[in-house]
Structure 1
Amino acid sequence: MTSPLSIDTLISASWVIPIVPANTVLEECAIAIKDGAIVALCTQREAQHRFVAREQIELPGQLLMPGLVNAHCHSAMSLLRGFADDLPLQRWLHEAIWPAESALVDADFVAAGSRLAIAEMISSGTTSFADMYFYPEVTAGEVAAAGLRAQLAAPIFDQSGCWGSGADDYIHKTLQLRDDYKSHSLLEIAFGPHAPYSCGDTTLSKIATFAGELEMAVMIHLHETAQEIADSLRDHHCRPVARIADLGLLGPRTQCVHMTAVEEQELALLQQHGSHIVHCPSSNLKLASGIAPLQRYRQAGVNVALGSDGAASNNGLDLFAELRLAALLGKVSAADAAAIDCHTALRMATLDGATALGWQQRTGSLESGKQADIIAIDLSAIGQQPLYNPASQLVYTAVGGQVSHSWVAGRCLLRQGELTTINRAQLLRDVAQHWQPRIAALRPAPASTFSLKG
């Protein structure tokens, strides 16, 4: 008789959605973890015979699934949550966000904002995220301390800014940061050309060359609004997707963020190059940028991941809220209630997100050999009763606040709703006492005020 295998952790729950195989909900199963990886997903009875665990965690009434992959955000901008609302994109950028960033952004701002964002993401089920913001080396330190998995796209502009003197300086710093973190198990550095309208042909061509030679990912805001496309036609006599394709920037590690308006020939280009679309539904709706026709993208064979965008334009980082909205908008845009079903939405927020980041062999599904990036959701609340279909409850009811546990590479980052690697009280005190008053002073005064005093 074979002796039981010694493992680190055995997690048992009422339900498991592994993502692979597709459309699967398992009952009364357990996940065995050793050295940060999944060694088995089996029935609880089988697990008791096969394994001796240093730690056993039993979660009745809860569901295990892969941690969510937020494929696009600007984490430090969490400090600007609610700072400037109800404005279209270009006014929002030019009249509110960019002036505020010019006055505020430094290493301390990025550290505090990133820590706030990371705490929110862990608490709502995200275990991997892709970021684009200034001072990515500071964000890297916060990520490493908190224990998440992250791709950090260093921002690149033609113009000088708080993190660089111009495109060449931004590119140089990106390459240096890549060298600094090339052996880190949870962090990867990518190029982050902000958008085709903020980077010229020379800059985009240089990035394409470096990214190809070094096999680095590229994240770019693309086809976010109809105005962006009209401006490209005026200035470059072509649409943005065609322009970056001609410059060599499309490839299997290119993440095209937003993509609210895409023609058939552009979908064909994305599919041909193996590039990915990152859909940010809340931000696109809040800024009135447009509605991405997800079903058409998927039918064209293009991988679609989900992102929250920054909290300044969302105003939250709860990816469960994004996958719900993506499913609903996908139905409306296709005029088909079955267009984006609950299992499809869950896959977009997990394995499809991991695929967009090039991490599908590491994370995104609960399979033996993959990293133990796992979350547990408590489905016992009033809002989840009665429970007929756990997958449906995850997508169509508000479960971001029901995440009870989170593990990344087997390390527990959230236990019974409490952060284990971030001091929540200290974080909230820092934001409330230091950052909120300072940032509030930069907001324009309201047009009118009212008082209830006699």
Structure 2
Amino acid sequence: MKAPADLLLLPQWVVPVEPAGTLADHAVVVQDGRILDVLPADAAQARYDAAQTLALPGQALIPGLVNLHGHAAMSLFRGLADDLPLMDWLKQRIWPAEKQHVSEAFVRDGTLLAAAEMLAGGITACNDMYFYPQAAGEAYLQAGMRATLGMIVLEFPSAYAVDADDYLARGLSVRDELKDEPLLSFAFAPHAPYTIADATFGRINTLAEQLGLPIHTHIHETVDEIQDSLNQYGVRPLERLARLGLLGPNFIGVHAVHVNDAEIELMAQHGCHVAHCPSSNLKLASGIAPVAQFAAAGVNFGFGTDGAASNNRLDLFAEMRLAALLAKGVSGDAAALPAAAALKAATLDAARALNLDDRIGSIAAGKRADLVAVDLHALSSQPMFDPVSHLVYVAGREHVTHVWIDGKLKLNDRRLVHIDADDLTARAAYWRSKLTA
């Protein structure tokens, strides 16, 4: 008698990520939101009686992509303040716009818009950092998307909170309310060393250790940030955080553009992670992170889109390709970040940074069925020698055809499921009119 299954997927290639390489003519079997089995297609059809069988000829099945750093609600600021350096971008345009317009409704609509864009591009999980995480969580749940909600912390007031203690209290309250949602997890999200005092960092570190949560913060994004830290504290930002005890396996440093050899070694020794955001770093003229050195030192890293206000796409296929090319160009080593390593950074390595690698990031029995089908049979993909190479250097988000999260279909033949695109377009137009009034 055949064993029951909910879904039997028959792609031309399965790309499990771990182990590296591809499996031709294999099947992935899904039951109760988990990957039940990965085995040759003929054996799968003989062994399992699936409620649904889907053939995917010419397609590669990969783990869902993991966006290691984003500000999802800022999708509503897309194109608002282009062609400015970081601090001018923040102080002259973004912070004033946030002060005037950011609210629960803004965050809910902006996050849902971002979730729709990410899902359509094969991103199944996002590490988010923004105000009103409750509203963001509601939007992710509405979209059926996996997310790590950053409990944002700043010293200065906003419409969301009045001071650091208030930010922390509000964030912890949201965590208490939503912590049992299986698609949601949490991280402390102090904005950056230049916006957080030592005492606040100390409290965050204690809470993170008590609750076993990651700490997700911007670090060494610009040269000016480092010089300001030297002027104010007498040390560079990363050294300051090391002295405060924040560095460790739960630390995710976003950007890490301007780090020296000693700092890379420091991150490696403490088991830190880096969220590499190449498009945002280039667009804001912040620089290029030394990814080849991260890899050589054993620093785990994944890719982030950052927010749509500074990218302006939430597109991890673009980040994978750009990161691989930049690593080669800067290091002078064509093998600095090979395709398989880039795909792993966008999936399993990013999941590891979020403490989710036991659940997502690779196609293996027992893991959650967060899966993406990518069409590789178009003329632009021919001839085919190596599907993994094509996924990084040839394919784009427009080639994503199907997306599943926890075995539930979210994108069906390039059409979003249960998300009303017309309604989202209308909401974006509403916020555009408010922002330009």
TM-score range (shorter-chain normalised) is: over 0.9
The one-letter amino acid of 2:17's match is: I
Q: What is the aligned counterpart of 2:82 among 74, 82, 85?
A: 85
Contact 1:321 1:398 in 2 (8 A): no
1:406-445 → structure 2 map (5 Å cutoff): 406-432=403-429, 434-441=430-437
Q: Which amino acid aligns with 1:139?
A: A
> Once the 2 structures are TM-superposed, how far is the Cα of residue 440 of structure 1 from its aligned partner?
2.7
Q: Is the 8 A contact 1:195 1:221 kept in 2?
A: yes
Deviation at 1:381, TM superposition (A): 2.1
Give the corresponding residue for 1:446.
Answer: none
- What SS does structure 1 have at the residue aligned with 2:195? coil
1:174–1:189 Cα contact (<8 Å) kept = no
Aligned to 2:240: 243
Using the TM superposition, give the Cα deviation of residue 293 of structure 1 relative to its aligned residue in structure 2, in angstroms.
Answer: 1.1
1-side partners of 2:262 and 2:88: how far apart?
Answer: 31
Q: 2:146 aligns with which of 145, 149, 165?
A: 149
Q: CA deviation at 1:157?
A: 0.4
Aligned pairs (5 A) from 1:92-131 = 92-131=89-128
In structure 2, give the amino acid aligned to 1:376.
A
- Give 1:398 shift: 4.1
Could you tell me how far apart the structure 2 residues matched to 1:383 and 1:430 are?
35
Structure 1 portions without partners, runs of 5+: 442-454
2:399 matched to which residue of 1? 402
Q: CA deviation at 1:265?
A: 2.1
What CA distance in whole angstroms lies between the structure 1 residues aligned with 2:130 and 2:228? Answer: 24
> Following superposition of structure 1 onto structure 2, how do residues 153-302 of structure 1 map, counting pairs within 5 Å?
153-302=150-299
Is 1:311 matched up with 2:308? yes
Cα distance in 1 between the residues matched to 2:312 and 2:218: 18
Structure 1 vs Structure 2: percent identity of aligned residues? Answer: 46
Number of the residue aligned with 1:451: none
Q: Secondary structure at the match of 2:404?
A: strand
Counterpart CA distance in 1 for 2:224 and 2:330 is 20
Aligned to 2:33: 36
1:302-325 per-residue CA deviation (whole Å, 9 max, x = no partner) reads 101110000000000010000000
- Cross-structure match for 2:6: 8
- Aligned partner of 1:68 among 55, 65, 68: 65
TM-score (norm 2): 0.98
In structure 2, what is the Cα distance between the partners aligned to 1:427 and 1:380?
31
Normalising by structure 1, report the TM-score.
0.95
Distance 2:250 2:417 in 1: 33
Q: Is the 8 A contact 1:177 1:189 kept in 2?
A: no
**Could you give the per-residue CA deviations for residues 365-387 of structure 1, whole angstroms, max 9, x where no partner exists?**
00111111100011122321222
1:367-424 CA-to-partner distances (Å, cap 9, x unmatched) read: 1111111000111223212222211111112421110100111111111111112111
SS at match of 1:6: strand
- Aligned counterpart for 2:377 among listed residues 352, 375, 380: 380
Work out the CA distance in 2 between the residues paired with 1:106 and 1:274.
Answer: 36
How many Å apart are 1:270 and its aligned residue?
1.3
- For residues 170 and 426 of structure 1, what CA distance do their matches in structure 2 show? 31
CA distance in 1, matches of 2:15, 2:68: 20
1:341 aligns with 2:335: no
Gaps spanning 5+ residues in structure 2: where?
none
CA contact (8 A) 1:14 1:61 kept: yes
Counterpart secondary structure, 2:213: coil
What is the CA–CA distance in structure 1 between the aligned matches of 2:332 and 2:368, rounded to whole Å? 38
- Distance in 2, matches of 1:381 and 1:162, equals 48
Mapped contact 2:403–2:410 kept (Cα < 8 A): yes
Whether 2:133 is the aligned partner of 1:136: answer yes
- Tell me, in whole angstroms, the C-alpha distance in 2 between the residues paired with 1:65 and 1:302: 24
Matches of 1:204 and 1:187, distance apart in 2: 24
Query: SS of 1:349's equivalent?
Result: helix
Q: How far, CA to CA, are the matches of 2:275 and 2:370 in structure 1?
A: 21
Q: Partners in 1 of 2:270 and 2:293 — Cα distance?
A: 17
Q: Which residue identity lines up with residue 13 of structure 2 in the other structure?
A: W
